[in-house]
Amino acid sequence: MADQDRPQIYLITPPHFDLDTFPDRLAAVLDAADVACLRLALAAADEDAVGRAADACRMVAHERDVAVVIETHLKLVERHGLDGVHLTDGARSVRAARKDLGADAIIGAYCGATRHEGMNAAEAGADYVCLGPVGDTLLGTTPRAERDLFAWWSEMIEVPVVAEGALTPALVADLAPVTDFFAFGPEIWTDEDPVAALRSLIAAMG
């Protein structure tokens, strides 16, 4: 597959990380690959802690021209100079987020394995739709987003689609022709060498 035909890379932060060490790990990963977007998927309930983490990651990402979206925390986007929001409730909040953040903000929506929800999010004005999980999760209770869903989406819908959730090199190789982005999170951060882990996933694209 030619580079211009390859899906783009979308990274997801861990839910918890050490502010003393993670920015350097993030910088190493962003320097090793061409990354289109970083999602802050922060589990902290404390607004100050989320804000400090967002600021640290934004500095690293924006120095490398990587867009930054934050999961759910709509009100923190403008306050911390982020590029947009990633919504986890499908199409439900897309129109309201667009109204709040304006036309230039990036608004993404996670729609599980549901074609209908994805279409609704796209029609509501989402800039991208995430479908997943594509692999087997530890919980094993969530329906998987199968290859035929991505193939249909890529053929029928113009809004970019992101494949995420329990990705493996084999799944990356299988889905590369039918997705616009791959979202990697635990797939690389749980590895001792996230740069090597990311490179192996990229290599699987062919």
Q: How far is CA 203 from CA 10, 168, 198, 206, in A?
A: 15, 12, 9, 6
pTM: 0.95
The residue segments making up the domain with residue 76 are: 3-203
- The whole-angstrom separation of Cα 26 and Cα 71 is 17
pLDDT at residue 3, rounded to an integer: 54
Please enumerate in sequence order all residues whose Cβ is within 8 A of that of 132, keeping only pairs 6 or more positions apart, or say none: 110, 112, 113, 144, 145, 162, 163, 164, 165, 166, 183
What is the reported pLDDT for 45?
Answer: 76
**Which one, of 67, 50, 47, 55, lies nearest residue 23 by Cα?**
55
Q: Are 66 and 38 in contact (CB under 8 A)?
A: yes
C-alpha pair distances (Å), 158 with each of 119, 128, 174? 10, 9, 21
Strand partners, 70: 40, 85
The confidence score (pLDDT) of residue 4 equals 53
CATH code, 54: 3.20.20.70
Q: Average pLDDT for consecutive 10-residue bins of the chain (206 residues)?
A: 75 96 98 97 88 97 98 95 97 97 97 96 98 84 92 97 97 98 97 97 95
Q: What's the Cα-to-Cα distance from 46 to each of 20, 50, 92, 121, 168, rounded to whole Å?
A: 18, 6, 25, 29, 33
Give CA 107 to chain center in angstroms. Answer: 11
CB-based contacts of 108: which residues, under 8 Å, 6+ apart?
39, 69, 84, 85, 86, 87, 126, 127, 128, 129, 130, 162
The confidence score (pLDDT) of residue 140 equals 62
Q: Which two structure tokens, joined as six digits, stand for 106?
A: 């990036």
pLDDT confidence of residue 5:
78
Q: Which DSSP symbol is given to 169?
A: H
Domain count, the chain: 1
